[in-house]
Amino acid sequence: MKLDRFARLQEQVLHVGCLTEAVAIHGFRWDKLPERKRPHYTPEARFRILHLKNLLADSAADTARLFRVSTNTVLRFSSPSRLSGATPTSSEISFRP
Instruction: Identify the residue with better confidence: 90 or 67.
Output: 67
Spatial neighbors of 46 by CB under 8 A, at least 6 apart, are 77, 87
Same domain (yes/no): 93, 71: yes
Same domain (yes/no): 18, 52: no
Task: Look at the chain and report how many structural domains it folds into.
Answer: 2
Per the structure, the complete domain to which residue 93 belongs is given by: 39-97
Residue 87 has pLDDT above 80, yes or no: no
Q: Are 49 and 67 in contact (CB under 8 A)?
A: yes
Same domain (yes/no): 61, 25: no
Instruction: Identify the residue with better confidence: 19 or 96.
Output: 19
Same domain (yes/no): 59, 80: yes
Give the pLDDT confidence of 24-42 residue by residue, as tens digits: 998 888 888 888 888 899 9
| Residue 73 pLDDT | 92
| Residue 63 pLDDT | 93
Question: Whole-model pTM?
Answer: 0.67
List the one residue out of 96, 85, 81 whose CA is nearest residue 51: 96
2: confidence class by pLDDT, cuts 50, 70, 90: confident
Alpha-carbon span 42 to 25, nearest angstrom: 22
